[in-house]
Amino acid sequence: MRRRRVCITEQKGERNKMTQLTVRDIVEKLERDYPYRMALDWDNPGLQVGRMDGKAERIMVALDATDEVVEQCVQAKANLLVTHHPLLMSGIRKVNDDSMAGRRILTMAENRIAHYAIHTNYDTAAMSGLAADRLVLQDRKILEVTGETDGEPYGIGYAGKLVHPMTAAELCAFVKKVFGLDGIRLFGTPGRKVQYIAVSPGSGKSMIKPALASGAELLVTGDIGHHDGIDAVDQGMMIADAGHYGIEHIFVGHMEGWLRKAVPQAEVLTAQVKAPFVTL
């Protein structure tokens, strides 16, 4: 009888070991829908901190791995942090508490928190389309094709027709509503009518040329400098600058839903979604 009880205990242990979610389990699912090959060459998506065989039963989703977000992970006892923006975009030669990145890495390592970033591979596979969906763009075309999969092109941003013409001011109000924003900077004339527009989430300076080439009358994007904005207007295209956060924050809600569906046995949490600035 004693031998039998030991056997049952060992079987239960093996079964629990087999069913425990690991970081690798989550990463494999993410890379199935948002493969590395869809990322741009300069990008650094993937596992930033942690072990592939680490536990991943409680997942936190955020836009950035800030000090505040990392602390939220610690308090929530999260095993895995999934963000849009990578913590590490360039080389790091020392991991210590003298740098912001080093402190975050140490805190995550000390608390056994893995960090995975899904950046431009998510932009090309999902973000651009989600943004175009919110603006209800019709007859859309990719602004900048960066590759193809199964014969279908993918890339950054979309151009398309609004359901009906709007003034630039009306469009800005619409953008504020569908993305939940407090304000937008408009380069151009508020009363000018537009219908064929472009949208490119995140930093859109490099997307001005493709948007002009598409024939867009207005580009919705973020991080536009003074000279970039006025030069675009002089070339016949207005710009609605919604900020880098302004459009990309939709990542958090979408990734939360994707994880809940893809990994129903995991607990999925979200960091507080808020702009990194206040509009006064």
Q: Are strands 46-49 and 114-117 parallel, antiparallel or unpaired?
A: antiparallel
Q: What is the pLDDT of residue 13?
A: 45
CATH 3.40.1390.30 describes domain 121-247: yes
Q: What is the pLDDT of residue 272?
A: 82
Residues 68-95 pLDDT 10s: 999 999 999 999 999 999 999 988 888 9
**DSSP alpha helix (H) spans, the chain:** 2-19, 23-33, 67-76, 100-110, 120-122, 128-134, 168-179, 208-214, 226-234, 244-248, 250-262
16 pLDDT above the threshold of 70: no
Give the pair of three-digit tokens for residue 43.
């990008």
Residue 129 has pLDDT above 70, yes or no: yes
121-247 has the same fold as 2-118+250-270: yes
Confidence of residue 132 (pLDDT cuts 50, 70, 90): very high
Of 236, 55, 37, 56, nearest to 148 (Cα)? 37
CATH label, 2-118+250-270, candidates 3.90.1530.10, 3.40.50.300, 3.40.1390.30, 1.50.10.20: 3.40.1390.30
pLDDT (0 to 100) of residue 8: 34
Average pLDDT of span 146-156: 94
**Packing angle between helix 250-262 and helix 23-33, nearest 10 degrees?**
110
Q: What are the residue ranges spanned by the domains of the chain?
A: 2-118+250-270, 121-247
- pLDDT, tens digit, 9 for 90 and up, residues 183-234: 999 999 999 999 999 999 999 999 999 999 999 999 999 999 999 999 999 9
